[in-house]
A and B are shown apart, each in its own frame.
Chain A
Amino acid sequence: MGHIQLNNVCKSFGTTEVLKNINLDIQDGELLILIGPSGCGKSTLMNLIAGLEEITSGNIVISGSDVSDKSPKDRDIAMVFQSYALYPTMNVARNISFGLEMRKVPKDEQENTVNRVAEMLQIDHLLDRKPGQLSGGQRQRVAMGRALARSPKAFLFDEPLSNLDAKLRVEMRTEIKKLHHRLGTTIVYVTHDQVEAMTLATRIAVLKDGVIQQLGTPYEIYNDPANHFVADFMGSPGMNFVECVVFEDKLIIESGSQNYQLAIPCSDAVKRSNLESVILGIRPEMLTDPKPHENNPYVHEVEFNVEVIEPMGADTIAIGKWNGVEVQGRLSPESGETAAKGFRLQVDTSKAIAFDPRTGQRVR
């Protein structure tokens, strides 16, 4: 069915290389997220898969056949665009059926498909409207309906939710996830929103400067990032990065004008690397109120001067400094209220990681 392989795909515009040697094997039924900052090449990569732009070198194989030289219409792929790209003069029904019409599907079959798709997306009451008369969310549904109508081998979603307001975005996100479960069709989904990526993906590919930095499940990407960039990009609030001097197999931090030695799981690797200092990476949720624990060697208690408090509702972000660098911790709302100078902060380093300060690569 929808098995997409990209082999050594490169793309340049003139002399600028936008994508460098991309290798991706997207399994049938997978929902692969392409994520990265703007200009990283993720949209270009999607256009290459769709056939809207020509690859410079390498090849693209869809379900066993090489489509590198095929035009978009022969690739049997449907796409949902960021701007929705609904045909402004056609009503919703014709927007959905246009692809079938172009493929000379019989009229009655077109009608059945339109009805089926419209029902699935709950837009059956809008079929006679023009795109200009629809709300943002409705347009989004029609755009998806247009893609669904043809039952293609794969769907490409190009930042489909970025034009929606925050609440609607969350709603549609869930909807897309449900849809994917229901249809089981391969989806390649471009976004710059890491929450979207985490919640939807079966796998995530993080792109930067035309290179895939890491390809993995959301769990792997979040907990085991390949490098400083991936660690920094995923997660909100972002991971704390503090450059620390290495002392034997521990890292030294200065917090609340006292020095502490932190044990980390990758201490052997750090030792082996012979680095004088490394960048400690630790997520804010590992910096908490003191909680009971069972003699865990990775749990430390440190003095913390809270400088700023940002209540988020469910928890409270407390900002202070380690080694002169800002770090964020996640406290319970209650202790957030009272936190001040000399707060006792519990630091759990069991998931802490370390990076080489020069290269940004993981030390492991």
Chain B
Amino acid sequence: MLNFLEKHLPKIVIAPTTLAMIVCMYGFILWTGLLSFTKSRMMPQWEYVGFEQYIRLFENPRWHVALDNLAVFLILFIAISLALGLLLAIFLDQKIRNEGVIRTIYLYPMAISFIVTGTAWKWILNPGLGIEKIFRDMGFLDFEFRWLVEQDMAIYTIVIAAVWQSSGFVMAMFLAGLRGVDDNLVKAAKIDGASTFRSYWHVILPIMRPVFFSAVVILTHIAIKSFDLVQALTGGGPGYSSDLPANFMYTFAFNRAQMGLGAASAMVMLFGVLAVLIPYLYSELRERET
């Protein structure tokens, strides 16, 4: 008996996590998946309705707004964060004095919650008292900056706040990547007559491809899950013009008692993440094997 216990101790230690994982991750995903095929509203009702919830979902204009917003948000957020993060990382990698202090400043927003970020930017972007007023005080009396309350522009305020929060992190990732590049490689490129710019472009950046890859995956992940930022900054408004899928899901599942529809939207989100994640994990695993 004692021997048995000893032999299986590792499995016993891991058992609670296994149970929680099977039930609360995979079981729940399955449950949500099943729910999305029912007509559940306030409470789960196990009446099968096929793809009706998905059809309703994709017929809902609000969902389309959320998807369009996600596309805009994803593209701009990722592109700007990558560009800014890479630029700052390269500049910081030039043997800068007080590098530590500057790095700390770039990265601190990452320690703050999206709710705080949203609250702060809501005030900074305040039409009337925010940035608009700064410029008017400077003498540009006709200056207008009211994206926060403009239907077409509200989503861009979310991009601004999200970039402010996450680009420092991208910088940190690139900086770590740059530090990992063999110094001799740069020297070799210099000896071969490459300028600083060319040695970065042709030698260093290609080596950093995995970092790009990881950064894109992480930023996508942040973007698809971001819910708090929208909630705090625009509340999805004006109207529902700045909703993201996560906000859509929350609103329908919890505020409007449309469980089936909420479940369907959650499943679509899951598949969105998987579409990015699976190729990434696949290539990671293959790399590890070789």
Contacts and interface: CB of A to CB of B under 8 A. Distances in A.
Do these two chains really belong together in a complex?
Answer: yes
Interface of A: 69, 71
B210 to A, nearest CB: 29
Interface in B101-137: none
Contacts of B6: 71
Contacts of B3: 69, 71
4 tightest CB-CB pairs across the interface, nearest first? Answer: A71-B6, A71-B3, A69-B3, A71-B7
Nearest to B7: A71
- How would you classify the secondary structure of chain B's contact residues: helix, strand, loop or mixed? helix
Nearest to A71: B6
Interface string B1-26: 00100110000000000000000000
A69 B7 CA distance: 11
Nearest to A70: B3
Nearest to B3: A71
4 contacts: A69-B3, A71-B3, A71-B6, A71-B7
A71 B6 CA distance: 9
Nearest to A69: B3
A73 to B, nearest CB: 10
Nearest to A74: B3
A69 B6 CA distance: 12
A13 B283 CA distance: 26
Contacts of A69: 3
A71 B2 CA distance: 12
Contacts of A71: 3, 6-7
Contacts of B7: 71
A68 to B, nearest CB: 13
A54 to B, nearest CB: 10
Interface in B228-247: none
A274 B3 CA distance: 60
A71 B5 CA distance: 12
A71 B7 CA distance: 9
A154 B7 CA distance: 24
B84 to A, nearest CB: 41
A220 to B, nearest CB: 41
